[in-house]
């Protein structure tokens, strides 16, 4: 073989090796070590919850995340439970409590949304729970994720762990405060005693309407009459302590109860002061205390306080009973 032919043969071999050796490299990196820092992710039934994002362990962004299957603690597939769809109200614009003061104004910023109890944010992998988890049995659950980015796609079996716990659709005593009846000397607010004796029963009694019904009763179950002025606001210096009326869109007074229509949850959305304590006054002329020596008839008003904050829409009933007071 001539020297010239040898040179051409070597050059052709180099070019062929270059062409055949070229292979497209993955566009980024998809780590096998992706994980949740929350383990397990704790969710209280009926409450909104958004977990922390996935720890991508250096994986290239953007990623696309999808739940593939979910299992109970025994390993049984329970996709059918978590795929149940419910229509709820979602926001299309930012809620402003200062201007969105009617159901009509609120409705104008809402639209129907179809949701499942648990959803996975497709960008961050965050677990997003809503109040429809009320329909899911409590327990421990594990789920598979499919994660993809420019480097490819990978299945991560049972990467996420959820612990779904029973809970109330509202907070009250003891979570956010203590109910009492404060006996206040008529004409002298400085002379007062807190009596931690009331019996407070709170129940979510219906899916709709969004209303809180409050009944205040003496020890015999006789209701005080808000419409007749037997239940009033409680003074606090030059102003009044907060009542549910201060948070509600509409307040209606009846002979045996008060009804407060609300537009958003949580309700109350934020506190106006003193946490989520709700204050009222029953004037002295309607009150007779069992301990007449300490609280002479007609000389003391009864001042009920309860705590309440709803996290699930619907109708609630709050029964406040004073077992040491008789309606006059």
Residue 113: in which H helix or E strand, if any? strand 110-115
SS3 27: coil
Domain termination site, one of 119, 136, 165: 165
Q: Does residue 244 sit in the same domain as residue 299? A: yes
Could you list the residue range(s) of the whole structural domain that residue 233 is in?
A: 170-327
Q: What is the percentage of the chain residues whose pLDDT exceeds 70? A: 92
pLDDT at 163 exceeding the cut of 70: yes
Q: Does residue 217 sit in the same domain as residue 257? A: yes
Q: Structure tokens of 146?
A: 């499919």
Q: Does residue 207 sit in the same domain as residue 116? A: no
Q: Which of 240, 310, 302, 306 is nearest to 277 (CA)?
A: 306
Q: Look over the chain and give the mean of its residue pLDDT values, rounded to a whole number.
A: 92
Instruction: Note the pLDDT tens digit of each residue in 223-258.
Output: 999 999 999 999 987 789 999 999 999 999 999 999
Domain termination site, one of 165, 197, 226: 165
Q: Does residue 265 sit in the same domain as residue 278? A: yes
Q: What is the DSSP letter of 26?
A: P
For residue 306, tell me if it sits in a domain. Answer: yes
pLDDT at 262: 96
Q: Does residue 202 sit in the same domain as residue 70? A: no
Q: How far apart are CA 158 and CA 142, in angstroms?
A: 5
Q: Structure tokens of 274?
A: 């003193």
- On whether the CB atoms of residues 304 and 195 are closer than 8 A, the answer is no
Q: Structure tokens of 101?
A: 């003061």
Instruction: Note the pLDDT tens digit of each residue in 257-311.
Output: 999 999 999 999 999 989 999 999 999 999 999 999 999 999 999 999 999 999 9
For residue 17, tell me if it sits in a domain. Answer: no
pLDDT at 23: 54
Domain termination site, one of 135, 165, 195: 165
Q: How far apart are CA 91 and CA 107, in angstroms?
A: 9
Q: Does residue 131 sit in the same domain as residue 258? A: no
For residue 15, tell me if it sits in a domain. Answer: no
pLDDT at 20 exceeding the cut of 70: no
Q: Does residue 212 sit in the same domain as residue 314? A: yes
For residue 29, tell me if it sits in a domain. Answer: yes
Q: Number of folded domains in the chain?
A: 2
Residue 16: in which H helix or E strand, if any? helix 3-21
pLDDT at 19 exceeding the cut of 80: no
Calculated CA dihedral for residues 7, 8, 10, 15, nearest 10 degrees:
140
Q: Does residue 133 sit in the same domain as residue 116? A: yes
pLDDT at 225: 98
Q: How far apart are CA 44 and CA 193, in angstroms?
A: 37
Q: Structure tokens of 263?
A: 């537009």
Q: How far apart are CA 119 and CA 127, in angstroms?
A: 6
Residue 137: CATH number of its domain: 2.60.40.2710
For residue 5, tell me if it sits in a domain. Answer: no
Q: Does residue 68 sit in the same domain as residue 158? A: yes
Q: Does residue 181 sit in the same domain as residue 302? A: yes
Q: What is the percentage of the chain residues whose pLDDT exceeds 90? A: 83
Q: Structure tokens of 262?
A: 């609300």
Q: Structure tokens of 147?
A: 């994660």
Q: Does residue 298 sit in the same domain as residue 158? A: no
For residue 207, tell me if it sits in a domain. Answer: yes
Q: Does residue 233 sit in the same domain as residue 316? A: yes
Q: How far apart are CA 167 and CA 171, in angstroms?
A: 9
For residue 14, tell me if it sits in a domain. Answer: no
- On whether the CB atoms of residues 317 and 213 are closer than 8 A, the answer is yes
Cα–Cα–Cα angle for 271, 274, 277, nearest 5°? Answer: 85
For residue 2, tell me if it sits in a domain. Answer: no
């Amino acid at each position: 073989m001539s020297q010239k032919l040898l040179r051409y043969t070597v050059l052709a071999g180099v070019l062929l090796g270059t062409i055949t050796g070229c292979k497209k490299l993955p566009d980024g990196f998809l780590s096998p070590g992706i994980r949740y820092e929350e383990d397990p992710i704790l969710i209280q039934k009926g409450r909104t919850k958004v977990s922390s994002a996935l720890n991508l362990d250096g994986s290239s962004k953007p990623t696309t995340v999808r739940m593939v299957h979910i299992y109970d603690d025994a390993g049984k597939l329970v996709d059918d439970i978590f795929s149940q769809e419910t229509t709820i109200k979602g926001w299309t614009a930012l809620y402003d409590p200062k201007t969105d003061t009617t159901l009509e104004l609120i409705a104008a910023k809402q639209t129907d949304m179809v949701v499942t109890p648990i959803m996975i944010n497709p960008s961050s992998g965050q677990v997003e729970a809503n109040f429809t988890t009320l329909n899911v049995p409590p327990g421990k659950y594990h789920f598979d994720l499919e994660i993809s980015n420019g480097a490819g796609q990978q299945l991560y079996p049972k990467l996420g762990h959820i612990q779904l716990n029973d809970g109330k659709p509202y907070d009250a005593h003891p979570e956010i405060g203590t109910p009492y009846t404060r006996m206040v000397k008529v004409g002298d607010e400085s002379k007062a005693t807190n009596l931690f004796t009331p019996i407070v029963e709170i129940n979510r009694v219906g899916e709709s309407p969004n209303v809180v019904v409050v009944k205040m009763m003496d020890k015999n179950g006789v209701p005080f009459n808000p419409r007749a002025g037997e239940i009033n606001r409680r003074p606090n210096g030059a102003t009044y302590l907060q009542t549910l009326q201060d948070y509600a869109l509409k307040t209606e007074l009846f002979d045996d109860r008060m009804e407060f229509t609300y537009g958003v949850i949580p309700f109350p959305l934020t506190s106006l002061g003193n946490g989520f304590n709700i204050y009222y006054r029953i004037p002295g002329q309607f009150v007779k205390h069992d301990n007449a020596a300490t609280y002479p008839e007609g000389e003391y008003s009864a001042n009920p306080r309860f705590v309440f904050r709803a996290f699930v829409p619907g109708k609630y009933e709050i029964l406040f009973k004073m077992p040491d007071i008789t309606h006059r």
